[in-house]
Amino acid sequence: MNTESTPALLVLEDGSVWRGRGFGDTTTKTGEVVFCTAMTGYEEALTDPSYQGQILVLTATQIGNTGITTEDGESAHPQVAGFVVREATPLVSNCRAKTELPTWLAQSGIPAMEGLDTRALVRRLRESGAMRGAISNDPAQTPESLLAAARAAPDMSGANLAESAGPEAPHRPSEDLGGWWDGARDMPKDRVRAKDHPYRVVALDCGAKRTIYKHLVDRGCEVHALPANSSPSEIRALEPEGLFVSNGPGDPAAVDQAIDTLREVAGEVPTFGICLGHQLLSLALGAQTTKMKFGHRGANQPVHAAGRDRIEITSQNHGFCVEAASLEAAGCSITHRHVNDGTVAGFRHDSQPIFAVQYHPEASPGPHDSAYLFDDFVAQMADVRG
């Protein structure tokens, strides 16, 4: 990028020091250092609330050439604690771009660095697991001071981030897909829509991505998004025809209020969960979750959909997973598994209208193999309505 950039440091809690060139903001930030294997979609990744509290490393070698459009973001601002890439390109080639990546990160208070061996860094994270780290473009910081900061940073295990990532007050998402879905080559054309009478859906918002709501609205849902700590009475007062539980950051087992609420209301109406929502529903039903070594993050994650007997390429972003045996003991059937490691990627309750997936079927960014899940949710509500 800019050869005059200030030196930057990333220090992991294991004591390893990674040097590069800084861009973005000059502050010092700590967080869990994780990597994402997506080749495109850095704006969507940076604004995904599920990355809150994390320093994101991208494996793609050159980042920034499409700039920042702002309208492609999954939230109003960057959610990551820090950003690490091999090369941040100085050129923006995109007629839709509103600004450049470095400028946007600087305005948002996000430190970033380039020029380090990200391949070696990712190998370290794969072998040792995701670790706490500290990143800084501040020349006053030293490897020793950043190591102390990294080791003092809160661990992701036990962190309830969903309540801060989600909204403070109820809101009504109303934006749909804007017509681009109909002309896209890989989109199903037979999706279910509500025409004259929208389906009222209450969303427990733990840090939902915008495009998830766009898919629901596009299918004719009237979405009422509530904070993650909402009570059963607040949900029931809206008389929903469907209940949706969103993605979000942090340790699912720490989101006590949402789990208690779902234990009471999940299944009263058709219930659909995505990512953190998948984990929260599992915990509410009596299953258990565990922290993964380095998680699944990328837009190229293969999942076996048993009911459809096919492999779907999915977009994923999570560091925790549900233990299969505990889920089956809770009266659920596993519907999807991650091909690479066999972890649970989806389930359906055997007797209640509850289903969920560990990945992001809206795939922003990523392939749209799994968008039919939104149709399944709408179809369940249609069946109940009759």
Residues tagged active-site? 275, 360, 362
H/E segment holding residue 18: strand 17-24
Cβ(155)–Cβ(320) below 8 Å: no
Q: What are phi and psi of 81, to 5 degrees?
A: -85, -30
As a whole number of Å, the CA-based R_g of the chain is: 21
| Residue 115 region by backbone torsions, left for phi larger than 0, else alpha for psi between -120 and 50, else beta | left
Residue 270 CA: distances (Å) to CA of 186, 240, 294: 27, 9, 32
Best CA proximity match to 112, nearest among 11, 4, 24: 24
**Calpha distance 87→17 (Å, rounded):** 18
Best CA proximity match to 82, nearest among 37, 35, 129, 139: 35
Characterize 54-80 residue by residue with b for buried, 16 or more Cβ atoms within 10 angstroms of its Cβ, and e for exposed: bbbbbbbeebbbbbbeeebbbbeebbb
Pull the structure tokens for residue 186: 């890989």
Cβ(220)–Cβ(199) below 8 Å: yes
Residue 381 CA: distances (Å) to CA of 190, 219, 347, 377: 17, 12, 18, 7
To the nearest 10°, report the CA torsion of 42, 43, 44, 46.
Answer: 80
Q: Which residue has the tokens 């629901």?
A: 216
**Calpha distance 68→345 (Å, rounded):** 31
Cβ(295)–Cβ(34) below 8 Å: yes
Residue by residue, what is the 3-state secondary structure of 61-72?
CEECCCCECCCC
Q: Write the DSSP symbol of residue 133.
A: E
